[in-house]
Amino acid sequence: MSFPNRRHPVLLWLASVVLLNLLAAGAQAQKVEAIVHTLDNGLKLLLVPQEGDPNISCGWVAKVGSVNERPGVTGVAHLFEHMMFKGTHILGTKDIDKDLEIIKQLDALKAQIREEDEALIEKHRRGLIDDPKNPEARGEKHNELLKRFGELLEQQRELIVKDEFDRIYTLNGASGLNAFTSNDLTVYMINVPANKLELWFWMESDRLSSPVFREFYSERDVVHEERRLRVDSTPTGKLDEQFETLFWQSSPYHWPVIGWPSDLEGLTREEALEFFDTYYAPNNLTVSLVGDFDPDQAIEWAEKYLGRIKKGKTKPQPVRTTEIKQQAETRMTGYADTRPTVKARYHTVADAHREEPALLVLANLMNGTTGRLYKSLVLEQKVATAAGAGVNGLKYDGFFELSGIAAEGHTPEELEQALYKEMEVLQEQLVGDRELQKVKNQQLADDFRRLRSKDSLMIQLLIYEALGSWKNINRFSERIQAVTPEDVRAAARKYFKPENRNVAVYYTKESAGSQERPGRPVGPGGQQ
């Protein structure tokens, strides 16, 4: 039988299954072969030569993120992401001697200003002033110190060669200079022409061996502005941040990557330098190169330039404080300029944990336009306009989150209950083999595509290495394929319990003054 000008749905399904199986087979067969070389100072190289495109994806990771901070210095890992582009003794200045002298004077003045700030904070603590940041509360000495500080900053700006680090790379054909900081790691990356690889080794070794944290105090203002744009000025930014602190009780994942405002204001250059010496030492760094290059030559340049950096005196220590076991459900209600939204988050497992693949598969069963949440909550029940699930496996811990946006005419409470009912189904029933294989194939196909990009492969190698071992990139596919229906059900039963649940409900701001208070919903196995 023919179907002119039509495509039969069964044939479409068969074609998609064949394609996904082929992609998944490729993902299983594909193994990343990296040449590993470790310098005497502890810095590790992961080299993946690939003939073809005469550009090399270059990057390195510092195995440090906000989780390695402590109260009082939160945000320092992210601040370093900014400071590492400020130049060195050679780059970024017209006169390094004058530059360093001004930095010394700035540090001394800042110590005196900090004493004045602390005196105002003490007055505020005792109720003698309303706002320690109010300029009218400052004394004559305080204002004189601030004036002198501002004059020195202006003198330093006259010496600075702005963005020289970036400009040298650009003039030599490089592109994509960037960096990012997360809870667990900080990555620096760029694409360079193959004939400029030695330049990359020199540039990166220079900023690691002789950095100058010029504009340290003014750059904190830049981070403040970044925080304002990312958190303060977004509809749910402050609520999302509060939900994070509600979810993590004892763990250092409790504070935001960007840091608390008071810590950024009080952070000293001495504290920052101590942090740098510990976590930016070569024994805490890994380099990744992917592209058309000679690995022997790359190793020779690495020994010549990166090998000159001294090993750190203080070995970075693993995070000591872990999350305590949650004993009862926590809830948070907020109002924002947003559609009514529900988030239900559960404590689960860290990256590479043996139960993580089952949770990833479970999330994929829920997600997408063909996933259970969209089909049930959006198309059938029409209680949501969007719904999804996500897994976040961090280095020391992890979580699983269900979320949705309530449809017009439906309350967040209805949506919340609908989310729980879908999870109850997975707790009670085994997922079918065909549905399970479909989502596993999709996961593997996505992973396969990511590894085909040089930039993505370079970054993935660095992330895997920072979280544990780069070799896990080759184990991921088989771990996903090994997940069984019983594994999915066991994970759903183990982690998705009311006492392990943290819920955030955001109502539209106009309803904040409503006389009717939202009721407390009942979750599976729980009581009102």
Q: For the domain that residue 68 is a member of, what is the CATH number?
A: 3.30.830.10
Task: Give the DSSP letter of residue 485.
Answer: H
Phi and psi dihedrals of 181, rounded to 5? -120, 140
Q: Where are the alpha helices (DSSP H) in 280-326?
A: 295-305
The 10s digit of each residue's pLDDT in 177-226 is 999 999 999 999 999 999 999 999 999 999 999 888 888 988 888 888 89
Residue ending a domain, among 122, 140, 159, is 159
pLDDT bucket at 30, cuts 50 / 70 / 90: low
User: What pLDDT was estimated at residue 49?
Assistant: 96
If asked whether residues 179 and 210 sit together in one domain, one would say yes
Q: Which residue from 286, 478, 322, 491 is spatially nearest to 394, judged by alpha carbons?
A: 322
Place of tokens 């544990």: 468
Percent of the chain with pLDDT over 70: 91
If asked whether residues 147 and 263 sit together in one domain, one would say no
In a domain, 379, yes or no: yes
Other C-beta atoms lying within 10 Å of the C-beta of residue 524 = 15
Token digits of residue 52:
């073809």
Mean pLDDT estimate for the chain? 90
User: What pLDDT was estimated at residue 26?
Assistant: 43
User: What pLDDT was estimated at residue 512?
Assistant: 53
Is residue 20 pLDDT above 70, yes or no?
Answer: no
In a domain, 524, yes or no: no
Is residue 527 pLDDT above 80, yes or no?
Answer: no
- Sorted by sequence, the CB contacts under 8 Å of residue 162 that are 6+ apart come out as none
In a domain, 237, yes or no: no
**Cα atoms found within 13 Å of the Cα of residue 342, Cβ hemisphere only:** 29
The 10s digit of each residue's pLDDT in 266-316 is 888 888 889 999 999 999 999 999 999 999 999 999 999 999 999 988 889
The 10s digit of each residue's pLDDT in 235-272 is 999 999 999 999 999 999 999 999 999 898 888 888 88
In a domain, 466, yes or no: yes
CA distances from 467 to 61, 62, 328, 354, 470 (A): 11, 11, 30, 15, 8
CA-based end-to-end distance of the chain: 58
Helix axes 485-495, 433-451, angle to 10 degrees: 90
User: What pLDDT was estimated at residue 511?
Assistant: 58
* Cα-Cα-Cα-Cα dihedral sign, residues 90, 95, 98, 103: negative
CA distance 61 to 93: 26
In a domain, 500, yes or no: yes
If asked whether residues 57 and 119 sit together in one domain, one would say no
* Cα-Cα-Cα-Cα dihedral sign, residues 142, 143, 144, 148: positive
If asked whether residues 194 and 52 sit together in one domain, one would say yes
β strands within 383-473, DSSP E: 384-393, 398-406
Token digits of residue 483:
């997940």
In a domain, 164, yes or no: no
pLDDT bucket at 526, cuts 50 / 70 / 90: very low
Residue ending a domain, among 116, 136, 159, is 159
User: What pLDDT was estimated at residue 389?
Assistant: 97
Which residue type occupies 442? Answer: Q
In a domain, 101, yes or no: yes
If asked whether residues 365 and 487 sit together in one domain, one would say yes
If asked whether residues 305 and 420 sit together in one domain, one would say no
Q: Where are the alpha helices (DSSP H) in 328-374?
A: 356-366, 372-373
Q: Looking only at Cα atoms, what is the longest distance across the chain? A: 93
If asked whether residues 275 and 203 sit together in one domain, one would say yes
Average pLDDT over residues 334-345: 96
CA distance 368 to 386: 10
- Contact call for residues 326 and 246 (beta carbons, < 8 A): no
Percent of the chain with pLDDT over 90: 78
Domain that holds residue 40: 30-85+170-222+255-312
If asked whether residues 398 and 277 sit together in one domain, one would say no
If asked whether residues 379 and 339 sit together in one domain, one would say yes
Q: Chain-centre distance of CA 75, in angstroms?
A: 13
User: What pLDDT was estimated at residue 31?
Assistant: 86
The 10s digit of each residue's pLDDT in 404-422 is 999 999 999 999 999 999 9
Average pLDDT over residues 458-464: 97
Token digits of residue 69:
């901070």
If asked whether residues 505 and 409 sit together in one domain, one would say yes
Q: How many domains does the chain have?
A: 3
Token digits of residue 496:
């998705």
Rg (CA), the chain: 27
In a domain, 243, yes or no: no
If asked whether residues 119 and 142 sit together in one domain, one would say yes
User: What pLDDT was estimated at residue 270?
Assistant: 86
The 10s digit of each residue's pLDDT in 81-119 is 999 999 999 999 999 999 999 999 999 999 999 999 999
If asked whether residues 446 and 348 sit together in one domain, one would say yes
